[in-house]
Structure 1
Amino acid sequence: MIVGTAGHIDHGKTALVKALTGVDTDRLKEEKARGITIELGFAYSNFGNGSVTGFVDVPGHERFIHTMLAGACGIDYALLVVAADDGIMPQTLEHLAILNLLGINRGVVALTKADLADDIRRASLTLEVRTMLRESSLRDVVIMCVSAMTGEGIEALKHHLAEAEREATTMSASGRFRLAVDRCFILPGAGTVVTGSVISGRVALGDLVTLSPSGLPARVRSIHAQNRTTGSGSAGERCALNLSGDGVSKDAIRRGDMVVDPVLHAPADRIDAELAVLASEKRPLGEWFSARLHHASTEVGVRIVPLGLPISPGQSGRAQLVLDRAIAAAIGDRFIIRDVSAQRTIGGGKFLDLRAPARKRKTAERRELLNAAARQDAPEALVALLAVLPFVVDLDAFARDRALAKDELSRIITTAKAEVIVTSQGRYALSKEARIEFTEHLQRTLTAFHGDNPDLQGIGRERLRMLAMPRLPKPAFLVMLREEQEAGRLVMDGSFVRLPGHEVRLTEKEEALYAKLVPHMTGDERFRPPRVRDFCEMIGADEKEVRRILKLCARLGRVDQIRHDHFFARRTTAEMVEIIREVAASADNGEFFAGAFRDRVNNGRKVAIEILEFFDRQGVTFRRGDVRRVNPHRLDLYGEPRSGSG
C-alpha cells in the first residue's frame, strides 16, 4: 500500500512520517535549512503484517502544490494532517479538494501536535474536521489525535495503518505496466534509475519497456520495490527501475514521463474528459479556457473546450482538453486543473477518450459515444460502444487506451458477446446485431445497385464500403467481404462486388468480336498487347465498336484499361501484380525501380511506366520519386478472371 500525506505547511507531515517510519524525508539541504518540505520525500515501514507500506511525503506550501500533485499520483491511502493548534488552513482545504477530485476514498485524518491542545480543543477541532469531510470522498474516515513530539497516538496510528494494509483490496496487476516517473538520477556503478508509483500491471527483470511520450526504448536491469531489491514490481508499489538502452540517460528522462509496456506507447494531446469545477471558482469555464493540467506526475498547459454549455462553479460537464504537448495516459485516469498562475486548483476529472476529434466534437453522435466510453466497467463500455455509431470498435486501440492485458481483453470480448474480425492490421469488434445488419445491408445495397445499373459488372469495393452499415475500416471490410463470398452471398470480381446471380452478358455478335481480340491479348505478347487502333487494322473492325466492346469487357472484369485505348487481359493484370510482388521482395527494403519491372515483362520502358502508373492509381503500389513499393493490403485486388475472360 502507498500512503500519501496531505495538509497545510508546517502541520507536521514530515515529523509524523518520521515518527511512523524512522525516516526523515526532508533530504535536501534547503529543506533542512528552511524547515519545510520542498520536494517529494519517501519512506517505508513494516508494521508487522508482512507487507511494506510506502509513504510519499508531499510539500504543504501553496507554491509547491504542483509537487504535491506529482506525489499524489498512485497513492491509494491518504494521510490527511491537520495541526491541533492551527486547525483547518487554506492548503488543508485545497489538498482535500485534490484528494476528492482524484477519487481517493481511503484514508485517515491525523490531528498532529496534539500535545498543544486540551480535550476541549481536540473535540472542537474533530467536529470541524468532520464537517469539512462531509461532502468529500473521505467523509467516513477515522480521525486520530497524535503527537510526534510525545509519541501519543503513534502506535495506534501504526496499528490502524497495518489494518488498512490488510484490508486493502489487492490492486490488479493484470493490466499492462505503467509507472509514473517522479525522479530520475544516476546511481554510481548502475547507471540511470527512475522512481515512481506503479499505476497498473507488473514489471520484471529483463523486460523491454518504453519511455513515453518520448518513445525511447529501454530494458529493466534491476528493480527495487517498496525499498527492497526484487525481481518484479506490481501495481500499488513504489519502484525504482535501473534502465539501460541507447539514449537512456538522466537528461533524456524527466518527471512526468511514464515507463510503459511498449504496446501502450501512444501519446495523446487532444482528450475528451469529464470535468468537475470547484464551487470556489468565481466564473464558469468557457471556450478555450487556459489552464495547467496535472496528470500522474506530469504538468502541461491545456486549453479547455466545453462540449456543451460553459461549466459553472460546483458543476460537472464534458470538455475537450487540448494539450500543449502529448502525454502518456489511459482512459479512466484522473487529472487536476489549476490556473495558469499556479494560485489555485480549479477542478479535475477523468479521461474518457484519448483520441478526441478536432472537428464535430459537439455532435449528438459524439455525445452518445462519450456516454458509452464513460462506463467504468470495461465489458459494459465495450457493449455500449458497439451500440452507437460507428458500431465497430478497434479492439487493439480499446485495450491499449485502457492499459488492458491480452487475457483481460479476451474476457471482456467474451462477456460482451462481441463478434471479432481478425485482420492483418488488427482486430475489430461488432455486436451480433450489427453483424447481421451488415450482411442484410450489403444485400439491399447490391440489389438496388444492380437494379439501377443492370449493364455494370458490379459496384466498386470502396464505394460499397462507404455505403455499408456499419461502415468498417478497409482491412475489416475486406475480411467481411471474403466471409460473405465464402457464404455464397456475393462475388468479388477484382475491385468490383456483385450478387451471385448478377452477370452482364455480351450478345453473340459482341462475343464473336471479342473472340477475335483475345488471341492478341494473351500468349507471349500478353505484356504488350495492341492498342485499339492496331486491333482495328488487324481484324478490320470499326474503331468505335472495338473500343465499346473492350470497355464493356472491362466492366465485366475480363480486361483492364491500363491507359487510354490500351487494354490488358485480367489474368495478365493479375500476373503482373505477382511479378511486382516478386520484384519488390527481391529488392532492398522492398523498394524497386521501373527498370526491374520492365526487364521481367520484357516490354518497352514507356509501356512499363504506363502499367506501373495504373497500379499506382489502383493503390497496388506506392510511388515516391522514381522508387516504388507494394501495398500488401491491395495485392489481392485482381483475382482470377471469370469464365470466358480470355
Structure 2
Amino acid sequence: MHVVATAGHVDHGKSTLVEALTGTDPDRFAEEKARGLTIDLGFAATTLPSGAPLSLVDVPGHVRFIKNMLAGVGAVDACLFVVAATEGWKPQSEEHLRILELLGVAHGIVALTKVGVADEDLVELAHLELEERLAGTFLEGAAIVDVDAPTDVGLDDLRAALDDLLAATPTSADHGRPRLWVDRSFAAKGSGTVVTGTLTGGRLAVDDEFELHPRGDRVRVRALQNHHEARDDLPPGSRCAVNLVGVAHDDVQRGDVLVRPGRWHLTTVVDADLAVLDGLDHAVSRRGAFVAYVGAGEHPVRLRILGPDALEPGARGAVRLFLPEALPLLPGDRFVLRESGRAETVGGGEVLDVDPRERASRARPDRSVDRVVRERGWVNVDELERLTGERRDPDLGNWAVDPGALQESVAGLRERLEDAGPLGLDLALLDDRQRAVVELLDDAVVDGGHLRPADAVDTLADHPFLAALAAQPFAPPDPGDVDRGELREMVRRGTVVEQDGVFFAASGVEAAARLAARLLADDPDGFTVSAFREAAGNTRKHTLPLLARLDGTGVTRRRGDLRIGGPRLPDPD
C-alpha cells in the first residue's frame, strides 16, 4: 500500500481530481462544500489499473490552512502535484513544493488541471513554466499529465502515470516498531474512540497494546479498518482507522502518536539539520516564535543554532530544538519549521540526535550510530535501537561499546586486580560492565567467585591456621588475628568449616563423624553429649557445634538427649 498526497495552490482542482480518481468526495465538511474550498484533510482510496491499491490524502491549498496541509504530508510516500493550466504557478504552489522537499518526499508526478477551459497556447505556456519551476527539484523530469476532471480528459493517462509512480516508489519498511501519527480523532457510535493516520515502521493488529503520547495513556486496539474495510492487522504504509480502548476521543488530538510500550525513546530535546529556504528575506536566529511540524502535529519550539549565531537564507546547519512535550522521535524524522510571527515557512530538515549528550557549544550532531556509542562509551543495544532505529549485535554482553571506553575498562580492571592481593578480586564487588570485561582478561582466571591472575601463588593452600586447626581437630584455636577475608575464602573452599562461630578443619569434622560412628558401634541405642565430649577430650564450647554440624549433615540424628546414626553415618575405623 502506498499513500500519496495532493499538493498545490488553492482552487487548482485537487479535491475534484481526487473525487474523479476515487469516486469519493474528500471534502467532509459542509463549509468546505459551500465555499468550494478544502479546509482540512480529506482521504480517499482507489485501485489502479495494475491492481495496486492507492491511498490519497487531499490537503488544503489555502495559505491559512497550511498547518492542516503539513499534517497530511508527514508520512506520505509520494505526491500528486496539482497546477491549474488556467492560472499556472502560484505562491502556494511554490510553498507546497518547498515543504515537500523539506519533508524528504522524493517521488511524485504533476497533474496539469483545467486543460478543458484553457486554450492550447495557455496549456503550452503552463508546461514551459512547470519545467522551469521544477528544475533542480525532486519533480524535475517527472511525468506531467494534462487533465480535465469534469470531462474525464486525461484521467486514464493519470491513472497509468500513478501506476508507474507507485512501481518506482519504495514501500514503507517494516522494522517491527510501528508508529502512527494521529491526524483525526472522533467518536464512532457504538464503538467509542477512533483515530486515523498513516502507519509506519511496523504492523498493527487487533488486541495490540500501545501507548498514546504525549499523554502516555496505555490503550488497546479493539478494531481496525483500512478505507472502511475491517482488518485483523495492517502492514506499514497503510491508512488506518483504529478503534481504541482506554482513552476518550476528547483526550486525543491531531499530532498525538501511537507506539509500542518501551520501544521508543521519548524526547523533549533534539539536535537536527536545518535547511533555510533560499527565498527567505532574513537570517534565522534563536529569536522568533517558531513552530515545528513533526508527524501530524505542530509544536511550539525554542531554537538554538549550533555554531554560528544565525543561518542565512539558503544555508543549512545544525540546530537544537526544545519541544514542550516528550515525543517518540528517531534520527531521520523530517520536520518543517515555521515562524508564527511572520506566518512563513522558515525551512526544515531531519532529526539527527534524539538524546543529545554534548553541550550546545560543543555539539556536532550527525546520524552516525558510532557517534552515539562513542559519546556514551557503553550503551545497551536495546537502548541503542531506541536512540537510533538501528539494531546492532552487541560487542560485549548486551552492550555496544566504544573501543576507547573498552580499553579504559580493561585497564581499570587490571589495576583493581593488581591491588586486590593474594585472594584476588571478589566478583560480587564488580558491576555488570566490569563482569563482562572479565572474559577479555586471558591472563586471569575465575575461581570460586574471585578473579585471580593465572600465575598467582595460592597462599591459602598451606595457611598456618589450617595447620593449627588440624593439630587440634576437636578443640581448635580461635582465629585470632587471621585476616577475615582469608578466613572467608578458606570456608568457601571447604578447607575450614564454620559452625556457630567456631572454626574447625574439614578433616576435624570428618574425624568427629568417625568418632560418632565408633560410639554408636559400642552402644547402638545412642550416645549423650557428655559421652561425645569425654571421647573427644574437649569442652561443651566445641562439642555442641561439632554435634550440630553432624546433625545438620545427616551423620547423626537427635532423639531426646541421645544421638543416633543418621543416613550419612560413616563406617567406624
Q: Per the shorter chain, which TM-score range?
A: 0.7 to 0.9
Matched residues in 2 for 1:344 and 1:556: separation?
77
Asked whether 1:478 is paired with 2:435, we answer: yes
Partner of 1:350, secondary structure, is strand
The verdict on how the C-alpha distance between 1:460 and 1:420 changes in structure 2, with shifts beyond 3 A counting, is closer
Give 1:395's match in structure 2, choosing from 369, 381, 391.
Answer: 381
Contact 1:104 1:138 in 2 (8 A): no
Match of 1:637 in 2: none
Match of 1:223 in 2: 224
Between 1:393-402 and 1:343-352, the stretch displaced more is: 393-402
- Superposed CA deviations along residues 303-355 of structure 1, whole A, max 9, x for unmatched, are 11122113222111111111122222222111110102371111111111111
The verdict on how the C-alpha distance between 1:283 and 1:558 changes in structure 2, with shifts beyond 3 A counting, is farther
Contact 2:413 2:434 in 1 (8 A): no
1:137 is displaced (CA, Å) by 2.2
Matched residues in 2 for 1:429 and 1:557: separation?
36
Matched residues in 2 for 1:115 and 1:298: separation?
38
Partner of 1:236, secondary structure, is coil
Match of 1:360 in 2: 359
Matched residues in 1 for 2:81 and 2:342: separation?
22
Match of 1:587 in 2: none
Match of 1:292 in 2: 291
1:500 is displaced (CA, Å) by 6.1
1:282 is displaced (CA, Å) by 3.0
1:156 is displaced (CA, Å) by 0.9
The verdict on how the C-alpha distance between 1:489 and 1:183 changes in structure 2, with shifts beyond 3 A counting, is same
Matched residues in 2 for 1:438 and 1:490: separation?
20
Match of 2:271 in 1: 272
Partner of 2:105, secondary structure, is coil
Give 1:419's match in structure 2, choosing from 377, 395, 405.
Answer: 395
Identity of aligned residues (%): 34
Asked whether 1:489 is paired with 2:467, we answer: no
Match of 2:131 in 1: 130
The one-letter amino acid of 1:430's match is V
Match of 2:58 in 1: 57
Residues 222-621 of structure 1: pairs in structure 2 closer than 5 A: 222-244=223-245, 247-287=246-286, 290-309=289-308, 310-341=310-341, 343-357=343-357, 360-363=359-362, 366-367=363-364, 370-371=365-366, 374-375=367-368, 381=369, 385-386=372-373, 388-403=374-389, 409=391, 412-413=392-393, 419-421=395-397, 427-430=398-401, 437=407, 440-442=410-412, 445-446=415-416, 450=418, 474-481=431-438, 483=439, 489=444
Structure whose alpha-carbon radius of gyration is higher: 2
Between 1:252-261 and 1:166-175, the stretch displaced more is: 166-175
The verdict on how the C-alpha distance between 1:572 and 1:257 changes in structure 2, with shifts beyond 3 A counting, is farther
Partner of 1:68, secondary structure, is helix
Between 1:327-336 and 1:388-397, the stretch displaced more is: 388-397
1:438 is displaced (CA, Å) by 5.4
Matched residues in 1 for 2:238 and 2:175: separation?
14
- Superposed CA deviations along residues 10-33 of structure 1, whole A, max 9, x for unmatched, are 111111111111211111011122
Partner of 1:263, secondary structure, is coil
Between 1:286-295 and 1:271-280, the stretch displaced more is: 286-295
Segments of 5+ residues of structure 2 without an aligned counterpart are 470-475, 491-497, 502-573
- Superposed CA deviations along residues 384-409 of structure 1, whole A, max 9, x for unmatched, are 655x34443331122224456xxxx3
- Superposed CA deviations along residues 394-442 of structure 1, whole A, max 9, x for unmatched, are 31122224456xxxx3xx53xxxx5241xxxxx31236x5697357524
Contact 2:288 2:339 in 1 (8 A): no
Matched residues in 1 for 2:395 and 2:240: separation?
39
The one-letter amino acid of 1:305's match is R
- Superposed CA deviations along residues 104-144 of structure 1, whole A, max 9, x for unmatched, are 11111111111232222222221222221122222231112
1:236 is displaced (CA, Å) by 1.4
Q: Post-superposition, which runs of at least 4 consecutive aligned residues in structure 1 deviate over 4 A?
A: 433-436, 453-463, 490-494, 496-506, 552-559, 570-573
TM-score of the superposition, structure 1-length normalised? 0.67
Structure with bigger helix share is 1
Matched residues in 1 for 2:62 and 2:165: separation?
28
Contact 1:210 1:265 in 2 (8 A): no
Matched residues in 2 for 1:571 and 1:138: separation?
85
1:501 is displaced (CA, Å) by 6.3
TM-score of the superposition, structure 2-length normalised? 0.75
- Superposed CA deviations along residues 168-195 of structure 1, whole A, max 9, x for unmatched, are 3332224311111101111112221111
Contact 2:355 2:387 in 1 (8 A): no
Match of 2:22 in 1: 21
The verdict on how the C-alpha distance between 1:443 and 1:478 changes in structure 2, with shifts beyond 3 A counting, is closer
Match of 1:635 in 2: none
Report how many aligned residue pairs link the two structures: 487
Match of 1:149 in 2: 150
Matched residues in 2 for 1:223 and 1:276: separation?
38
Between 1:136-145 and 1:18-27, the stretch displaced more is: 136-145
